[in-house]
Amino acid sequence: METDRIKWNQRFESEDSFLGRRPSPFLLREIERIKTLAPGRRALDIASGEGRNSIFLAQHGFEVTGLDISDIGIAKAQQRAQEAGVAVDFRLVDLEGYQIGETFDLIINFNFLLRELIPQEYAALVPGGIFILDTIMSSAEIVVDHTPDYLLQPGELVRIFKTLEGEILFSEEVAEGQMPTARVLFRKAG
Ligand SMILES: C[S@@+](CC[C@H](N)C(=O)[O-])C[C@H]1O[C@@H](n2cnc3c(N)ncnc32)[C@H](O)[C@@H]1O
């Protein structure tokens, strides 16, 4: 949506790194396991932002495609990938109504929630492919101003993934703190 592009462009313009340059903590912690689990090296980063997770995966040998609606985010991500000496295929797309149309061994979806995209992300995984969804959850303690639709409800992520054919290898909900989060590490049936 055009309003999302404008909003995120403003955020990415206003700060050097909106979400920092380090990869998401869960990705950092689990990278060796992910490398072992992923059946191949084609990876898709959904809503890749300023590219921190795409670049990290590329540094670990993945051939990464990053999709995002923010042209400022994409430009920063491309610049940072170049500085890091890795190649990432960043593409400017609106994920609302988007058709992925390719298959991947690993799909990561950090800090972005578009519920109707989840079945398509699943469909875009090869058999045995790995899917990580890690994003903000609603909680009594939440302090940041978020649109309710963009927040997971407690228990929701596991409920969604239980409907998909495969195995939840890890899940957790961290309700306390300023950034309540739910995450799932899932393997599609082989
Ligand atoms: C909180 S940031 C997360 C960025 C990245 N996943 C990370 O963790 O560093 C949310 C991202 O979603 C992107 N986004 C929001 N709406 C979108 C849409 N409709 N299509 C594609 N990207 C979108 C924004 O541009 C922004 O980069």
What three-state secondary structure class fits 46? strand
Looking at residue 138, its pLDDT comes to 87
Which residues neighbour 101 within 8 Å (Cβ) at sequence distance 6 or greater?
Answer: 124
Atom 10 of ligand 1: nearest residue by CA position: 112
DSSP string covering 61-96: T-EEEEEES-HHHHHHHHHHHHHHT---EEEE---T
As a 3-state breakdown, the chain gives helix, strand, coil percent values, each rounded to 5, of 35, 30, 35
| CA separation for the pair 182, 72 (Å, rounded) | 28
pLDDT one-digit tens code per residue, 162-172: 999 999 999 99
pLDDT at 117 over 60: yes
Domain ranges of the chain: 2-188
Ligand 1, residues 15, 46, 68: which to mutate, most atoms within 8 A of Cβ?
68
Say what percent of the chain tops pLDDT 70: 96
Read off the pLDDT of residues 121-137 as tens digits, 9 standing for 90 and up.
999 999 999 999 999 99
Higher pLDDT: 143 or 73? It is 73
Confidence of residue 56 (pLDDT cuts 50, 70, 90): very high
62-82 per-position pLDDT tens digit: 999 999 999 999 999 999 999
Whether the CB of 4 sits within 6 Å of ligand 1:
yes
| 65-69, 111-115, 149-153: least confident range | 149-153
**What is the predicted pLDDT for the residue at 177?**
78
Q: Which CATH class is domain 2-188?
A: alpha beta
Residues 6+ apart with CB under 8 A from 156: 137, 182
**Ligand 1 pocket mutation pick from 69, 76, 133 by most atoms within 8 angstroms of CB:** 69
Q: Please name the amino acid found at residue 93.
A: V
CA atoms lying within 13 Å on the CB side of residue 106: 30
Cα of 173 from ligand 1 centre, angstroms: 21
Confidence of residue 55 (pLDDT cuts 50, 70, 90): very high
Give the model confidence (pLDDT) of 18-42 as tens digits: 988 999 999 999 999 999 999 999 9
Q: Can you give the pLDDT at residue 146?
A: 67
